[in-house]
Structure 1
């Protein structure tokens, strides 16, 4: 699932290719899930966008929006496999080597946009799994975050850096008794942090993901706050291009899970293990992330050489969908997390996957925006 960093990448490209231009042609294919689940239709979307000027784009965590010259505005969420492609621009989150993937319009498109300039810019929102959401929000552009679904979500650690202070984080952590990883993943607390970013933050903070949030010391809260802003701001500045991520990041070494004879270790030999926290598979470095207080019961602990899964995010080789990316739908359809919530009655709400199927078989994909060198 695209997280804060990946979504910031597409907002960057929207600003570069679409903002300031008029949409002369908009086509939309109705999908009673992608549009319909949030009370919009393809016809309404097309009418709201066509002939208007794109005046801005923004982001709050995993949500992003395109603001128009007059309301309503488009607010979107990628779900697990959604993405916005811009013709002849390197925005891709995943790609395949099949010739048809270079065709335009791309497969599984939900809407197509064309601008009035010469040469015109063309954009397409695609989603093979139909877990994305596209809605219209009728409000002044500068008040969009005061309306659903954004108002129900927590602050964005990059956009709202002045809000997400050490004191704010400490109060949030101590107000709940849940595994700290689960708290980070709850979009009602903090917007945009998903599985890989949560693991990266906790690794840099040297905090075990199972430790209860209300047991962290002042020093641990300080380290967590510092790590959160470091990981989020760095990955956003690099437009989620993991080829440019620092070599010492956990991200660069976690994807060998499940590969035969390929140990999950850091360059210094420290072992990476995997366990389930908050319903998600978490990458942990036990020699660094010590348990310093009460923790949630360990569930489904997996060894680094587990035969399950073969995830690796990279530009050049085919991959399966991330095993540690449990399918979720949008934030407003939050439901109870399975295993870890049974261990803690106050555990988080997360996005639970809709029981839907794509209209066609989904393509075999290659990850793109988070790239790893061999």
Structure 2
């Protein structure tokens, strides 16, 4: 799924044409999954509203919106209104394959979605609105944008909040951990938060309640550059290990954002360029080291054994959970899929076998540390939900056919013969006139 750099690029694309602009027209399309309100109400709320600014936290984009004033309000507030005051907030999450498209920009969608191209007519012109569109906005400057989501795993929310402080106290922002760009904790805070955990470090990095915006490929890249195996337990990491992970979280996100999330501009030695081929032939790093794949924290993880040694004690259990991780059979199974679906699993809410925690800029330092040690286990929460569901009905098994055992009769003696239990065998007089 799109991770922090891809979401930041999308936010930048939206902000370049929409920040400070009034919405003069809107078209919305029914989808009870992605909207948190009816799409007709969504269109009514946004028509005539002004998008004050586009922002991002973790994998969420959010925009403070100023409602369209009535004619009386416009006359009364002329020259006195606060252009930065919000009436409500628009929240957008891209899910697995969501994207914001700008009319006239026919570049292929980001994040390896080669099949999700803009619709082009036979003459090469762009079809608008594009496929899988949930809404289109037309702004006063003439710009047109569309939110598209083929798999319908994105989110389009309207939240009632007047200020940044208020919206940060509401879900989803209040449930997220630190953002590596906006509020990366200090090395001491980071070390204190990680060293007390007993879950694999990869699982903790994927936990959005701990670090908002880090996804599968970023976590693998950070651990590869830090020379840490993804199954390594947090409490076994040294301070040197933790400082290296902290530094690489900052560096990987910064480099990817500066490259505008364009993978062709990522450093050539990054694991990113070669980690996607696990379903085909053996993959190697740029210097020829083998890349292996295991399951850690429920996710497929790429690692380089020559650089990231496998843990020697109990931590190796996370590696043994891999289904066909290094086997030829596993590679054959994955080769059937052109797209690695596992790479597009939503990490929101996915996490460790330890308690959820967060480092956030929304509170002071003491509050952030307290939030680190608070929460319930993601695995335990999933078990509680599963236990609350009614049992799945089992399909009825087909009744077994009863076979009748046939007793063998002895050979006939004379014309009548001997039947079962020594009694004369009955003969049909109609068929045998000699018996009449």
The two structures have a TM-score, normalised by structure 2, of 0.70
Report runs of 4+ in structure 1 exceeding 2 Å deviation. Answer: 89-102, 140-146, 291-294, 308-311, 319-324, 326-329, 334-337, 346-352
Change in 2 beyond 3 A, CA 1:304/1:200: farther
* Aligned residue among 165, 172, 181 for 2:193: 172
* Aligned residue among 234, 247, 251 for 1:230: 251
Change in 2 beyond 3 A, CA 1:65/1:237: same
Matched, 1:10 2:16: no
Aligned counterparts, 1:55-94, within 5 A = 55-69=52-66, 70-89=86-105, 90=107, 92-93=109-110, 94=113
* Alignment RMSD (CA, Å): 2.6
Distance 1:232 1:176 in 2: 24
Distance 1:307 1:140 in 2: 54
* Aligned residue among 199, 208, 230 for 2:220: 199
Matched, 1:241 2:265: no
Give the deviation of 1:96 after TM superposition. 3.4
* Aligned residue among 48, 69, 72 for 1:51: 48
Give the deviation of 1:321 after TM superposition. 3.0
Q: Deviation string for 1:199-225 (max 9, x for gaps)?
A: 000001110000111110010001111
* Aligned residue among 173, 176, 198 for 1:153: 176
Matched, 1:124 2:121: no
Distance 2:378 2:194 in 1: 12
Alignment correspondent of 2:130: 106
Aligned counterparts, 1:1-374, within 5 A = 1-35=1-35, 39-69=36-66, 70-89=86-105, 90=107, 92-93=109-110, 94=113, 95-96=116-117, 99=120, 102-117=126-141, 120-143=142-165, 144-161=167-184, 164-259=185-280, 262-291=281-310, 294=313, 295-297=315-317, 298=319, 299-300=321-322, 301-303=324-326, 306-310=331-335, 320-325=338-343, 327-328=345-346, 331=348, 334=349, 348=378
Give the deviation of 1:255 after TM superposition. 1.9
Distance 1:347 1:290 in 2: 28
What residue ranges of structure 2 are gaps of 5+ in the alignment? 67-85, 355-375, 383-436
Distance 2:351 2:236 in 1: 23
Distance 1:97 1:17 in 2: 19
Change in 2 beyond 3 A, CA 1:190/1:351: farther
Distance 2:90 2:171 in 1: 12
How many residues in Structure 1 have an aligned counterpart in Structure 2? 327
Q: Deviation string for 1:321-368 (max 9, x for gaps)?
A: 324325338x3xx4788xx89xxxx9656999xxxxxxxxxxxxxxxx
Distance 2:150 2:51 in 1: 26
Q: Which has the higher helix share?
A: 2
Change in 2 beyond 3 A, CA 1:141/1:13: farther
Q: Are the counterparts in 2 of residues 212 and 293 from structure 1 also a CA contact under 8 Å?
A: no
Q: Which has the higher contact order (CA 8 A, sep 6+)?
A: 1
Distance 1:106 1:350 in 2: 41
Q: Are the counterparts in 1 of residues 268 and 286 from structure 2 also a CA contact under 8 Å?
A: no
Distance 1:177 1:17 in 2: 46
Q: Are the counterparts in 2 of residues 276 and 282 from structure 1 also a CA contact under 8 Å?
A: yes
User: Rg larger in 1 or in 2?
Assistant: 2
Q: Are the counterparts in 1 of residues 8 and 56 from structure 2 also a CA contact under 8 Å?
A: yes
Distance 2:283 2:380 in 1: 28
Give the deviation of 1:11 after TM superposition. 0.7
Distance 1:46 1:71 in 2: 15
Give the deviation of 1:99 after TM superposition. 3.5
